[in-house]
Amino acid sequence: DAAVTQKPRYLIKMKGQEAEMKCIPEKGHTAVFWYQQKQSKELKFLIYFQNQQPLDQIDMVKERFSAVCPSSSLCSLGIRTCEAEDSALYLCSSSPQGNSDYTFGSGTRLLVI
């Protein structure tokens, strides 16, 4: 079982609805990352938190997503208004500070219809 927990495993939303997915990083890890993977495509970096502060994110996240880590043991990624193109597997990863040892969760698979 992954030490990074993601919920829910599956999420189905209508276009225009809001979506939210959660990630519990591995205990003691201070860095949290979100990636998006569309069907048969490479993982795409979305946002990176260090000690709960966002340090890097792509423009799409700034414009349409909401991502926070209210505590060291919980992060969430939200989509304000779902679009069909948001259908993808969303993977959360964590790592210790100063260490490239990444642990990935099992992902949340979002389908927007």
Partner 1 sequence: GQQVQQSPASLVLQEGENAELQCNFSTSLNSMQWFYQRPGGSLVSLFYNPSGTKHSGRLTSTTVIKERRSSLHISSSQTTDSGTYLCALERGYNQGKLIFGQGTKLSIKP
Binding site for partner 1 (CB under 8 A): 2, 31, 33, 35, 37, 40-45, 48, 50, 55-56, 89, 91, 93, 97-107, 109
Cβ-count burial of 113 within 10 angstroms (0-12 exposed, 13-18 middle, 19+ buried)? exposed
Least separation in angstroms between residue 17's CB and partner 1 is 22
Rg of the Cα trace of the chain? Answer: 13
Beta carbons within 10 angstroms of residue 88's beta carbon: 20
Nearer to partner 1, 16 or 111 (CB): 111
Least separation in angstroms between residue 70's CB and partner 1 is 20
Q: Which residue has the tokens 């966002």?
A: 54
Nearer to partner 1, 37 or 81 (CB): 37
Least separation in angstroms between residue 16's CB and partner 1 is 26
Nearer to partner 1, 16 or 28 (CB): 28
Element (H, E) at 48: strand 44-50
Least separation in angstroms between residue 98's CB and partner 1 is 6
Nearer to partner 1, 55 or 113 (CB): 55
User: In 3-state terms, what secondary structure has residue 4?
Assistant: coil
Task: Report the candidate in 96, 99, 94, 105 with the shortest Cα–Cα distance to residue 37.
Answer: 105
